[in-house]
Amino acid sequence: MRAYIVANNPLPEKRGLDLNSVRTSYRAWAPVYDKTFGAVTSRGRRQAIKHINHHHGRVLEVGVGTGLSLKHYDPHLEVTGIDVSTHMLAKARKKVQKRALNHVTGIHEMDARAMEFPDNHFDVVVAMYLISVVPDPEKVIAEMARVCKNGGEVVIVNHFAHEKGALSVVEKVIAPFANKIGWHSDFAIQQTQGSKDLVLREKSKCSPLGMFTFMRMEKQAA
Ligand SMILES: C[S@@+](CC[C@H](N)C(=O)[O-])C[C@H]1O[C@@H](n2cnc3c(N)ncnc32)[C@H](O)[C@@H]1O
């Protein structure tokens, strides 16, 4: 299997997050991630993978992190994971090895904004809790659409900004600290809907407390 390494990313940084901050932030998160944020978000991950297990063929998980999802994919799938954090990926690789997850055929250090995969390559492309932590979310969605086959699905699980209520106030207060916390708290769902190749097929709330959203979009032939 070819190794994909992205050392220096040439893309401009946008929206208050930059790749170095993301790497620094997830270096700190890596040792505690599975027992903290990873544990709180397990339901959304399980919901997405339950859906994906009905598909066949190649799955790409973008921002695979510590690989919490990997053991949940059915063995009939061929799963590839990418991430920019060396420290998160080290945890993922350890899980693959320890649990002999043979359906995981590749774990690569790669920037989701410039993926080194061919067009129309994967049957499903999924990003869980990623889209509000990347520096350029529209570019990531465009890349996810590009590498997805026509008729395939792009699946997203994420927290999106509340339009009103107490949570929307908290999200706005935290927003300027995006680089410190590695997360864009007031991220609008509309930012995921810019690709002309993707048609929204389902959108529903996930636990806990409906804080997260599960979305699937179908890639249509241009
Ligand atoms: C909140 S974690 C989610 C990890 C995993 N998807 C999960 O469900 O636990 C976000 C992950 O996105 C990764 N990430 C952030 N920006 C990225 C980028 N441009 N390309 C690839 N991965 C990125 C981070 O390194 C981190 O591992």
Distance separating alpha carbons of residues 62 and 1, to the nearest angstrom: 18
| pLDDT per residue as tens digits for the range 198-217 | 999 999 988 876 778 999 99
- pLDDT at residue 36 is higher than 80: yes
| pLDDT reported for residue 1 | 28
Residue 210 CB neighbours (<10 A): 9
CATH topology of domain 19-219: Rossmann fold (3.40.50)
- The residue nearest atom 27 of ligand 1, judged by CA position, is 65
- Is residue 23 within 8 Å of 84, Cβ to Cβ? yes
Distance separating alpha carbons of residues 64 and 38, to the nearest angstrom: 11
Residue of 25, 40, 83, 113 best suited for mutating to test ligand 1, as the one with most atoms within 8 Å of CB: 83
Taking the complete model, does pTM exceed 0.75, yes or no?
Answer: yes
- Is residue 119 within 8 Å of 190, Cβ to Cβ? no
Share of the chain above pLDDT 70, in %: 80
